[in-house]
Structure 1
């Protein structure tokens, strides 16, 4: 698989390479995992190659026009395989891919379950992002570990954690009837989102220890998903971005710009 092709690229609709990418779906996003990573993982799971242009030429257009970016946001997904689907909003993109490549379960009941898990994973991802920039604050990390990363019994007893915690997903992942969430016969986008959520936690040393210790079923699920054909190749390739959130990349860009300004 070659999700990112080498060589100079512009936006997907322009430039000399446009014909070469006419048969590939195009994903526009920052050079970070962020909200686009579930899309990349789903495409990798479906063993579908995709193309990512550099974000530099896109950002000025993103701010100046609504055509192509109706909500002035990335990611944007252009499904060049049928030429009709051109959408933004990360979950809309993910569900389109799930429907197209049969990653939405085998029936309506499984699809409903998958939607539930995907939404819960996104809520938990938002909680993680809230503490991500405060990882150097021992108090903030301790609070997060006590609530969102609480074991099931402790989560149920926590009066200040009204929403889900990883223990909710741990219970689902511990189901022995199937290696995949919801008893599905094959991985779905629910597995994609839960893998991504756990993987984000493992990327933070301040949080990784608690996740490994408290959620063995989620860790086993993480290993199974990482070993899937297509996913395995993507994760081990040089195509995976090191920045977990787009804000990490933005902060690095801001630091570089400030350094350049100081040297003038």
Structure 2
């Protein structure tokens, strides 16, 4: 609760996002709000439901990653990397079930989950280079999404992102959360 911005946050932590008359807190609430607003939440209720499920899986893995980085990096890294294939397999399965892995995580248009999963996969590739080698659909998915001009990887390489935590991570090849 240090600093004016943090003290102004409902839950005493960042993220804080204002969109018109609404101020939102919590990363995933912000993410889902922007997804709905910009048409990145599936074409129908079923796709939205599947996206919620996939995003919960992404966030489960992100939480494990954050715990590793902040609580047990030195002692836990080897075991975490050993168990990583088990954690990545569900995403490979989801891709295989959607147009044989040639589309997105759900449906035929990009969603907020695709961006969230891409971010998580990119930081895992820094933590454990080659972690996607046993997952051809995930590997192709990362290549396909990062090749998009509007991808987060393209943004991270841009001058606008200089100094961001992702830039620090990429330059220093150290994981961050």
TM range, smaller chain? 0.7 to 0.9
Quote the Cα distance in structure 2 between the aligned partners of 1:131 and 1:63.
24
Number of residues of Structure 1 aligned to a counterpart in Structure 2: 164
Matches within 5 A, 1:1-264: 60-64=3-7, 66=8, 69-79=9-19, 83-133=20-70, 134-137=72-75, 140-147=76-83, 149-150=84-85, 155=86, 165-175=87-97, 177=99, 178-182=102-106, 184-204=107-127, 207-209=128-130, 211-231=131-151, 233-240=154-161, 241=164, 242-243=167-168
Q: Quick check: 2:133–2:139 contact (8 Å CA) kept in 1?
A: no
Gaps of 5+ in 1: 1-58, 156-164, 250-264
Where is the helix percentage greater, Structure 1 or Structure 2? 2
Where has structure 1 moved over 3 Å in runs of 4 or more?
133-137
Q: Quick check: 2:95–2:104 contact (8 Å CA) kept in 1?
A: yes
* Greater radius of gyration (CA): 1
Select the structure with the greater relative contact order (CA < 8 A; seq sep ≥ 6).
1
Quote the Cα distance in structure 2 between the aligned partners of 1:145 and 1:135.
11
The alpha-carbon distance between structure 1 residues 84 and 223, as it changes in their structure 2 partners (threshold 3 A), is same
Gaps of 5+ in 2: 170-174
Deviations 1:135-154 (A, max 9, x none): 444xx22311232x13xxxx
Task: Provide TM-score, normalisation by structure 2.
Answer: 0.81
CA-atom RMSD in angstroms: 2.4
